């Protein structure tokens, strides 16, 4: 893993563990609200390649009312190069998980799932518009969609990737 000084400025701004961690936190919270369960570990690796990819994010509906599989059938182009994007973001995802574990913001439960913990954080809900707010909303939709699915393997299959 490259040190932060060696990373391009754009990567440091967009893919920093704090921002990515907030995307994870919002997805995990929605998942927990829908299922009453903690987020299965493999699903965390799908959040960033969906939410951070502008074309995919822009095509996503504004609410979670539409089912994920229906939306994917209507927008098959979002799966183009998805496996490559997901693979490229694995190091960022792992770095973010480590960051959140060190902050005591998440923990791994006895089933290996990711559990949100209560922790003090700066209130960042003031972001109501713009690209950051849009990323937050889409991360919540992803958490909701994932929560409506029964199996991790089904979600991976829908996106055309393997864990």
Domain boundaries, the chain: 4-158
pLDDT at 150: 83
Between 62 and 119, residue with greater pLDDT: 62
DSSP per residue over 63-108, as a string? SS-S-HHHHHHH-GGGGTTHHHHHHHTHHHHHHHHHHHHHTTSEEE
Tally the residues of the chain: 163
**What confidence category does residue 52 fall into, taking pLDDT thresholds of 50, 70 and 90?**
very high
Instruction: Give me the mean pLDDT over the 80-105 stretch.
Output: 96
**What confidence category does residue 89 fall into, taking pLDDT thresholds of 50, 70 and 90?**
very high
Instruction: Report the helix count and the strand count for the chain, using DSSP H and E.
Output: 9, 2
Is the predicted pLDDT of residue 47 greater than 90, yes or no? Answer: yes
Phi/psi for 93 (5° steps) reads -60, -45
Predicted confidence (pLDDT) per residue in 6-22, tens digit: 666 666 667 899 999 99
Is the predicted pLDDT of residue 107 greater than 80, yes or no? Answer: yes
């Amino acid at each position: 893993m490259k040190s932060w000084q060696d990373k391009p400025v754009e990567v440091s701004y967009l893919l920093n563990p704090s921002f990515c961690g907030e995307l994870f936190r919002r997805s995990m919270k929605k998942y927990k609200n829908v299922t009453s369960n903690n987020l299965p570990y493999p699903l965390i690796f799908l959040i960033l390649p969906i939410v951070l990819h502008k074309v995919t994010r822009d095509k996503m509906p504004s609410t979670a009312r539409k089912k994920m599989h229906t939306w994917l059938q209507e927008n098959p182009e979002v799966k183009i190069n998805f496996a490559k994007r997901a693979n490229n973001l694995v190091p960022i995802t792992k770095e973010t998980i480590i960051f959140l574990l060190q902050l005591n913001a998440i923990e791994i439960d006895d089933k290996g799932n990711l559990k949100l913990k209560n922790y003090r954080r700066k209130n960042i809900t003031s972001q109501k518009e713009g690209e950051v707010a849009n990323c937050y909303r889409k991360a919540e939709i992803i958490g909701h969609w994932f929560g409506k699915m029964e199996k991790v393997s089904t979600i991976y299959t829908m996106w055309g990737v393997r864990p």
